[in-house]
Chain A
């Protein structure tokens, strides 16, 4: 079974430029998560989707960050414009459902460097 796929794996951009990350979850997983991991820190939840619906985006900085999951499968996370402090690893995870202790499976992440 294929795992969570993310692309690109690495991205270097200049500040004020836009950037987008793509995630393909494990087949059949209804719940999709985007996490931010700063250097030396644990992952922090940005947004959670149940199918197409963003059910928890309370931690997403909505002035510059946006996300979508149009058909309830793939998802895109966008930053516009990027700032120096956005340099981090962006992780995507998926699970069958958030209930009952379903395990979250993580992708390899996209490492963003903003110059």
Chain B
């Protein structure tokens, strides 16, 4: 039973446009959500996070939105750049601790010049 779902295996956008990556979760105990970015042959790197007490968190070109009632979060990248091409993982945790991350399967984002 997958508790964190990224239903789009891949996404392709044009440079300068908005990229929207989606994530759904089933466990209502999750209270902290993170996005990680992964380049080939590298480990995942932390990108942005959001607590369940918020519905939006912004960091430069990256914004994460959380809809608790729908158990849905999304990552917006504006404007998208070719260097953003990577696999993006959504992750969630509960109990106020960051240690037990449950990851989705990831979405491969390709930003075309």
Contact = CB atoms under 8 A, between A and B. Distances in A.
Contact of A33 (B36, B91, B99, B103): B99
A89 to B, nearest CB: 9
A98 B98 contact: yes
Interface in A96-115: 98-109
Interface string B46-58: 1001010000000
**Which of A43, A99, A100, A108 gathers the greatest number of chain B CB atoms within 10 Å?**
A43
A40 interface: yes
Given A41-B105, A42-B91, A42-B106, A91 B43 contact: yes
Interface string A36-52: 00001111110010000
Given A42-B89, A99-B98, A106 B45 contact: yes
Interface residues of B, number: 23
A37 to B, nearest CB: 9
Contact of B105 (A40, A105, A109): A40
A56 B99 contact: yes
B37 to A, nearest CB: 11
A106 B98 contact: no
B91 A4 contact: no
A93 to B, nearest CB: 7
B4 interface: yes
Interface of A: 4, 31, 33, 40-45, 48, 56, 91, 93, 95, 98-109
Interface of B: 4, 32, 36, 41-46, 49, 51, 89, 91, 96-101, 103-106
25 contacts: A31-B99, A33-B99, A40-B105, A42-B103, A42-B105, A48-B99, A48-B100, A91-B43, A95-B99, A98-B98, A99-B96, A99-B97, A100-B98, A101-B49, A104-B98, A104-B101, A105-B45, A105-B46, A106-B36, A106-B43, A106-B44, A108-B41, A108-B42, A108-B43, A109-B43
